[in-house]
Structure 1
Amino acid sequence: MFRGKGYTNIRLSELIALKGVGVTSAYVDEIRNAGYPNITPGQLISLKAQHIDTKYINAMRSASGISLPLSISASNNVPQPQPGNINNESTANVLSENTIVAMKSLNINNNYKNLFSALGYTNITNENLVAMKSLSISPSYIKSFYDYGYGMVPIKDIISLRGVNATTMDIEYFRLAGYPHIDLKDLVAAKSLKINNAYIELFVNEGYGLVPIKTLISLKSLAITPDLVDHYKRSGFPDITLNQVITLRSLKVTSSLIEKYRQLGFSDLSINDITTAKATGTSPEYIAAMRQKGYDFKKIDNYISSRTEIR
């Protein structure tokens, strides 16, 4: 039966599973005619196991504002889903099989969507609805940020906030720490990096004052502490700034690498020289090889230029 439907390479385990959940030839036709001509045996098993039929699919389309007819054929002037693109709503204008299964298993219906429509979120995608329900996002959670002065927060930001368990208590925490207007995207980053008052105070106590939150996020993401900053200072850069440390760290510039450049005779080496050399691949080994070929430049800029020209 299934080979006659085009599943010529179907596995025995899939046949057993299809039989077990009650997938029939008629069910295959029903789902295909609903806009899924390339549905796989595995997807059929998932849909049937969740008791998903065309009635449910149409209900979800109606709730999503998708007006695609139930039956897709070449004669109804509806663009046909192309192989490989049947999960692309912008191409096929259909709900993906995985999204349908997720919505069914999470009991997402029009009532759930209407909870957020009442707050002004009238165009939530099905994928975002799935994420919201999975994270137990409620209207009161969204409203809490509105009440804190953030207005109508984009749904994707709400999902990100909930994903790191951010609440208005975290906003208050950072306000008390000296960040009265923290951006919600920065809040997500700060929460995910576990930035706390102790980390903030590390830099305050070393004389850096209250470090801007975005700089603090960059520092924490690169595991930079005041001790590491001092390490760079002892490498010959006593006036190095936090942003310069971030640049060096992101390029994986170590004190030993700095020393290798100095051993080549570049005693007046600047941070800009090092970052440019590292970014362009002008390594100490490259410089040594060039000198063996007779290119004995006095300034590292010349080696950087030659490296750039070769690349």
Structure 2
Amino acid sequence: MTRQGIALALDVGGTKIAAAEVDVRGRLRDGARVSTPATGVWEACAALLREVGAGRPVTAVGISCAGPVDAGTRLVAPVNIPEWSVGFPLVAHVAALLPGARVALEMDGAATALAEHRLGAGAGVANLLAVVVSTGIGGGLVVGGELLTGRTGNAGHIGHTIVHGAADPCTCGGHGCLETVASGPSSVRWARAHGWQGTTGVELARDAAAGDGPARDALVRAGRALGEAFASVAALADLDLVVVGGGFAQAGPPLWDAMTTTVTEHAQLSFVRDLRVVPAALGGDASLAGAALLTRETPEPPDP
């Protein structure tokens, strides 16, 4: 028996929460979003799902959520959502809100990789890394044309790989993480410590373009760290392509030139020498688009 109803996508991040209806091709339509609150995050998610669902029967929900996630327990514990950082049963809450709907969960970096592979800059590429460079740094891997999720669902978490020049403690509890060098807030902190007077990543990019030394140096430093990480992951996973998105990835030539030059310097083995690094195609909706695809790619359970 075929279930009638609609599918929904939900994307939960540290900055915003978004939801949308999913059409029959797995594409987004009729979406809504809000800023992520300090408290009451689930209530905000539920309100969005009710809004886009509009009282209609829901048969499937695809969820993209900031990580870490746990594919076994289906808990989420995002480091940038303090209210949920000890583990929140997001899948169970969505299932209780929308009884009868099948619910699929992926880390936001994995959802982004899926979307860029199916619909965006990585279409037709079998082996790729998708990276989001923003307030934090996330990522996901497609290997052999299939999304690689790993043991717990966190494969591709490139922001917590180790790079040169990273000495500050990370929110994950470790030291040396890419995120402490190349995220927007980390780059702003470094530039301010070296004499720059601005406060945001947008200002940093603007001042770097205008010739401000510390601002430009901060972007070059971030770009080199990203390039090191990309070359390392490409050698490990034998990749064809790195797709780079996120707000801070738009910071301009100092970041991009340093990133691509560093990839070339380090990707010297024959099988990674042709590694390409390209801008993402789907913008800020990539992880939500990935959540939408989950509603089509997750098998429907049999009728009782």
TM-score of the superposed pair, with normalisation by structure 2:
0.23
Q: TM-score, normalised by structure 1?
A: 0.22
- Which of these two proteins has the greater Rg computed from alpha carbons? 1
Greater RCO, 1 or 2 (C-alpha within 8 Å, sep 6+) = 2
Q: Tell me which protein shows more strand as a share of its residues.
A: 2
Q: Which has the higher helix share?
A: 1
